[in-house]
Structure 1
């Protein structure tokens, strides 16, 4: 099925209990706009209560997983910055609160929120062409998506700081080395093998997985929810500074 009336740039398919959410905006490198954030949040909330959905998989169409937030003129003219940040936070909260297993099949570069959302998934696979980038400092923005905590937890403080402060581009090989991803997939594996494997995962009893996830999240969920709130407050704090406005303006001009 394709979600209609919500966002034509997101497709959702349910096959044998596996819900696949695909970013389908390849002409914009699958950049995520406000409409897509609303749709993603609704999809996750609804499928959390849907017994037909065993677990959920994120992937992208074309060469990119996603280039992150849409900073085009049309996108930023929709609502106030505070409203857009709130929609973004709602999506992050829906990831944190999702009770079923979340898998990401990263078919290409993951930038910004497309990168920071990955540690909130349970298992991440990536293609050979993938890289992971958080260009917050270039935009005068602060860390988001709980990356101020999850990156250090996975990568260690030094490498996390390199990404969050200095916009280090993490390669697929580095991501595997640090445990940011579980496996690097070849083009053949990305096309067929991984999806067959995921379908086999769906044949496993699900109740034990959900209890395991609940136990793993115990004590951390509330911390992450509070962190998402603090990071959103931080984004609202820096958005009106001259540095940030100039940096985002420069980003617009580079796309013209």
Structure 2
């Protein structure tokens, strides 16, 4: 593997993940991760760090279910691949009584690293809304109720009580207020309204564009002129959005302060210009 892998090589590593999921190849999927790799799924829940924890994640959330990936766009930015997609999960796909299918909009971030000449996944962070998924499950009739009743014991059996509590931390997010603030800020950025941008930012925010690194607010707004957004997702203290920019289609990632009052970091992932 060259020191500077190409976009095609990064994408090939990422594509191996849904391929392994689709055929339920546990060893292949877990083997894609670096030795101390992590899975945070959904963002805001307790991360699964290291091989043993990632194996338990697979056994809990992948092995019992059928999972299909409908990817609409991939953004390769440095050593990160950000996927814009919807995942269709058929709960307990081997059991007709619980085979309800849930469609979950998602932004899926893969941070990659080279290890002994091989590209590995250093961190996988899945931005999706757990409260919406649970509402969809509970609204799916008898099949949804049966699948929901099985999920709790499944969680505890594989993750323990602490792991189940850690997963349910994903219920907490900046929610609708955070999505409104993120949309408002992105609108103001696209219109170059520097005063309105400052209104939602923390006093010393970090602003990053593609691989250019941190920049001033003035330079960031100049770069983002004309930006438009769709598909806001609130997970944990982060809101992600699909964006259209002069550099191409990408994904914005906005991090909020601990109390969710202001936005402390904005990163725009687009193909490098």
TM-score by length of 1: 0.28
Query: Which structure's residues are more often strand, by fraction?
Result: 2
Query: Which structure's residues are more often helix, by fraction?
Result: 1
TM-score by length of 2: 0.27
Structure with larger Rg: 2
